[in-house]
Amino acid sequence: MYSAVEENYLKAILSLENDQGEVSINELSKRLDLKMPTVNGMIKKFSEKGLVHYESYKPLKLTKLGKKEAAMILRKHRLTEMFLFQKMGFGWEEVHAIAEQIEHIQSPKLFEKMDELLGYPKFDPHGSPIPDIHGKVAIPKYKALSTAHLNTEVVLMAISDSSEAFLQYLNSKNIQLGAQIKIIGKETFDGNMTVSINGQIEEVFSSIVCEKLLILH
């Protein structure tokens, strides 16, 4: 078992590995909002426990054990988000902060029961994959809406930004996962896109928003 602090480190390292391919102590300290000497100390402990490959002045890398343990924490987090959303009626903009606290509960049976009651979901409310009971994650081949061509129709599968502010923005536009999006116009200069949502609503999305809305390849 790991402490809540250790679990936060593992989850942050996995996230940075997935986003950037490699992890530096500096990037990890920024992600966790901690000073570098503090992070260095924890990483040395992780190295001793066989969770990370660590050499001075080189990027960190999770070991096989480290990846599995990090994925299991992520599993608890995303299952909790889905349970709060699907079974308790919380908005997708509300579930992250609550899941951040519940993910540290050391009770495998609790999360197994959540999984069962949910019907063994593959994705959380934001479209992110939920690791399976063995810590394996199926990475879907999504691409940004910004890559879609004019006059094509696509389905919103996930979002790359699950911050409360962005989700509230999507709520204000009545946009949820599964929305049918048709590209009506596309600006060459700034990347803004005019789209219709579910054949009814017409919106103009900035290039920033288009990069955060994910569709299938």
Tell me what pLDDT residue 200 has: 87
Residue 73 tokens read as 């924490």
Question: Chain-wide mean pLDDT for the chain?
Answer: 94
Tell me what pLDDT residue 21 has: 79
Task: Dump pLDDT digits (tens) for 151-160.
Answer: 999 999 999 9
Instruction: Work out the average pLDDT over 115-133.
Output: 96
The fraction of the chain above a pLDDT of 70, given in percent, is: 100
d(CA 176, CA 130) in angstroms, rounded, equals 19
> Does the pLDDT of residue 217 top 80, yes or no?
no
Domains for the chain: give ranges and CATH numbers.
4-62 (1.10.10.10), 143-216 (2.30.30.90)
Question: Using CA of residue 131, residue 135, residue 141, residue 143, what is the dihedral sign?
Answer: positive
d(CA 4, CA 34) in angstroms, rounded, equals 15
Task: Dump pLDDT digits (tens) for 30-80.
Answer: 999 999 999 999 999 999 999 999 888 888 999 999 999 999 999 999 999
Tell me what pLDDT residue 198 has: 92
Instruction: Work out the average pLDDT over 168-195.
Output: 94
Least confident stretch, 7-16, 17-26, 111-120, 168-177: 17-26
Phi-psi group of 159: left, alpha or beta (phi > 0 → left; psi -120 to 50 → alpha; rest → beta): beta
Q: CA of 26: how far to CAs of 13, 29, 30, 93, 129, in Å?
A: 12, 5, 6, 29, 27
Tell me what pLDDT residue 57 has: 80
Tell me what pLDDT residue 77 has: 97
Tell me what pLDDT residue 115 has: 97
